[in-house]
Structure 1
Amino acid sequence: MAGHEKHLPADSPEEEYDYESLPPNFSLAANMVAGAFAGIAEHSVMYPIDLLKTRMQVVNPTPAAMYSGLGNAIATISRVEGYMSLWRGLSSVVVGAGPAHAVYFATYEAVKQAMGGNASGHHPLAAATSGACATIASDAFMNPFDVIKQRMQVHGSTYRSITECARTTFRNEGLRAFYVSYPTTLTMTVPFTALQFTAYESLTKLMQNQRKPGYDPLTHCTAGGLAGGFAAAATTPLDVVKTLLQTRGVSSDPEIRLARGLVSAASIIWRREGAKGFFRGMKARVVAAAPSTAICWSAYEVAKSYFIRVENEK
């Protein structure tokens, strides 16, 4: 990550590396542990807002599942379904997020290192490419868990566990149900992560230049939050399409149940709600993404900083 440089001896043939960046010989296992820690922390803390976002994005919801805003949604769900229902489906995220984020950050660091992104200076192209490669790898693992999560989040879901939801989905719809949204997910998450990583790297560079030397968690928290909120707002239309595809199996609407991919799902939204339909739940998505991304980057940088310190003390 961006930050203050850790200077090598003057006669060293290697390039200087940023203070928080992983050294070239850094342990892959430590990198993956840092990523898993970041993923679980990110998703667990902001999960209720993610549930609200899913419900607000559902096309043609039942009257009981129509909310006028975030505050109304929280109050209604807590009163009717119980406060703990805001965490329904969390186990799917915890099980999937750790390994998926381990793959995510391991890929990110490997590609960034290969492209020279850890060398001193500003490298937005390396950051964007690293983010895109990371999301392609991690989403292949995470997509089935995301499908299960959203099916447990929708209003009226009767699933009691992730295994029950997985078995029922597979029995009724086959393996395809877990990946029907994968192309749409990539269409959304590749630009999302490219935007997020570029903004994060740029903001971190700018903020570190204005602060005293040394590791500064506040910089990563602020830069991560701003980058995540910006990227979330920009990619909301594709997230709405993804939600329709991932929850189609629990919909009572025949047309939605037959949606086959990005184009057919987008046409349903456009025909029924117009352009505004693609921005359902944007406020909830930004509210969830900004702090969750801040938590994710902060947790990742803290873990990385710890492992680097241990490595340097050897």
Structure 2
Amino acid sequence: MAQSREPYINLTVTIPEQHHPHHPHPPYDRPLTPSTTGPKSSKKSGASSETNSNDNNKNNAESKYPNPLYSALAGGFGGMVGDSLMHSLDTVKTRQQGASHIPKYSSTIPAYVTIFKEEGFRRGLYGGYGAAMLGSFPSSAVFFLTYESLKKVGIENFGLNETVVYLGSGFLGDFAASIFYVPTEVLKTRLQLQGRYNNPYFKSGYNYSSTWNAVQQIVKVEGWRTLFFGYKATLFRDLPFSALQFAFYEKFRQWAFMFTGVSSSDDNNSKSDDGLPLSLELLTGAAAGGLAGIITTPTDVVKTRMQTQNENTSQLILKSNSILKSLATVYQRQGFVGLFSGVGPRFVWTSIQSSVMLLLYQVTLRALSTGEIELE
């Protein structure tokens, strides 16, 4: 994101505006038409100008950052759509990580085709989709609400370094969202690994007939704490991922604006907030998510195996709850190939999911902020 302001897809009109270089969000609530009132007298005009200037500064200070409710709704919507589009590829990634000993899942495209042919679309590639959606909207909403709020406090109130604020806000935003997505992540990964009910093509050690049946069986047989199994491993993966993703995203946005020459300068003579071309909107989000996804793949491998492993299969079992020891075990037994199993689909998944989510977030946020979408 450019340091000068938050870019948005321009859905309606372009409003020329000057921004402070450290306030990334444009004012949403300013009037769309200029005042036509002329000066009354030199004295009154000066007083009026000073008053209007103070009012404008106050209004701008209040509107540089999005409404928290709008952030939550836009973030929840963007996250849900992004997760929905990429769920099938996430299933392939889960098979590669949780069943790395099965040759037919070793390559991404052949694995995708195999799962589709053997198990179908709904119960195969989209196995665990219902569980994923249980956590997708609320966790994304809480994340963006927390991220935007902390970003405003860090930059506006404390004047902290922007990159540090982006890293910290992404880290803490994901921590706040984890209470919603960790239990559903356990359900999702098990159902993805299992595939279709009574699956004759792959024995995962699990056989749930539905998401609700999975909840019942887990609580009854293994206890409710199992729904939070791998919590530490999930946080160890997702907190750095979100911190890196949004730090990269903000920096790539800044570079994109510099490249296009749109609103890239930090002086008061910068061009109007025209926004980035759609191609760059998608590219910045994809690059941020993809790069963060590659870096955090080893912890994703450990998380997936911790949440899906059982003694009824021949897969590598992680005996320790220590993340570092588990990483060492995977490396000792399977090398870098094991640590980065599923990196291909994870890279594609995080790239596309990130670009779609962030694009829809900004578009929806803009529509809510300008009144194009009204909440009754």
| TM-score, normalization by structure 1 | 0.87
Shift of 1:179: 1.9
The CA distance in 2 between the partners of 1:69 and 1:151, in whole Å, is 20
Matches within 5 A, 1:106-117: 106-116=145-155
Relative to 1, partners in 2 of residues 1:111 and 1:168: Cα closer, same or farther, differing over 3 Å?
same
1:236-259 per-residue CA deviation (whole Å, 9 max, x = no partner) reads: 000000001110248535972755
Q: 1:183 aligns with which of 220, 223, 232?
A: 232
CA–CA separation in structure 2 for the residues paired with 1:260 and 1:56: 21
Task: Check conservation: 2:367, 2:373, Cα contact below 8 A.
Answer: no
CA gap 1:280/1:288 in 2 versus in 1, 3 angstroms: same
Q: Post-superposition shift, 1:30?
A: 2.0
Q: 1:118 to 1:35 in 2, by over 3 A?
A: farther
Deviations 1:154-201 (A, max 9, x none): 144522321111111122221222223111122222221111111100
Q: What is the match of residue 266 of structure 2?
A: none
Please name the residue that 1:55 is paired with: 95
3-state SS, counterpart of residue 169 of structure 2:
helix
1:33 aligned residue? 73
CA distance in 1, matches of 2:318, 2:130: 25
How much does 1:140 deviate?
2.1
Shifted more, 118-127 versus 180-189: the winner is: 118-127
1:296 to 330, 336, 357: 357
Which one of 63, 66, 72 corresponds to residue 23 of structure 1?
63
Once the two structures are superposed, the pairs formed by residues 1-314 of structure 1 within 5 Å of their partners are 2=2, 3=6, 6-7=17-18, 11=54, 12-13=56-57, 23=63, 26-58=66-98, 61=101, 63=102, 66-84=104-122, 85-116=124-155, 123-155=162-194, 156=203, 157-209=206-258, 210-212=260-262, 213-216=273-276, 217-249=278-310, 252-253=313-314, 256=317, 258-310=319-371
Contact 1:7 1:16 in 2 (8 A): no
Number of positions where the alignment pairs a residue of Structure 1 with one of Structure 2: 307
Gaps (5+ residues) in structure 2? 8-15, 20-51, 195-202, 263-272
Contact 2:166–2:246 (CA under 8 A) maintained in structure 1: yes
Between stretches 194-203 and 150-159, larger displacement belongs to 150-159
Query: Aligned partners of 2:363 and 2:148: how far apart in 1?
Result: 15
Q: CA deviation at 1:150?
A: 0.3
- CA separation of 1:15 and 1:112: change in aligned 2, threshold 3 A: farther
Using the size of structure 2 for normalisation, the TM-score is 0.73
Secondary structure of the corresponding residue to residue 280 of structure 2: helix
Report the 3-state secondary structure (helix = DSSP H, G, I; strand = E; otherwise coil) of the residue aligned with 1:256. coil
Distance 1:117 1:46, change over 3 A: farther
Q: What is the rounded CA distance, in whole Å, between the counterparts of 2:179 and 2:311 in structure 1? A: 22
Q: Determine if contact 1:248/1:259 at 8 Å carries over to the other structure.
A: no
| Equivalent position amino acid for 1:83 in 2 | F
Shift of 1:273: 1.0
Alignment check: 8 A CA contact 1:131 1:194 kept:
yes
Q: CA deviation at 1:28?
A: 2.5
Q: Deviations over 1:132-169 (max 9, x none)?
A: 01111111221000010000011445223211111111
Give the Cα separation in 1 of the matches to 2:321 and 2:368: 45
1:6 is displaced (CA, Å) by: 4.1
CA deviation digits over 1:215-247, x for unaligned, max 9? 334433211100000000001000000001110
Work out the CA distance in 2 between the residues paired with 1:271 and 1:231: 24
Quote the Cα distance in structure 1 between the aligned partners of 2:156 and 2:232: 28
- Asked whether the 8 Å contact 1:16–1:119 carries over to 2, the reply is no
Opposite residue 145 of structure 2, the aligned amino acid is A
Distance in 2 (alpha carbons) for counterparts of 1:211 and 1:91: 44
CA contact (8 A) 2:311 2:317 kept: no
Considering only aligned residues, what root-mean-square deviation do their CA atoms show, in Å? Answer: 3.0
Deviates more, 1:278-287 or 1:73-82: 73-82
The residue type paired with residue 274 of structure 2 is G
The DSSP-based 3-state class of the residue aligned with 2:105 is coil
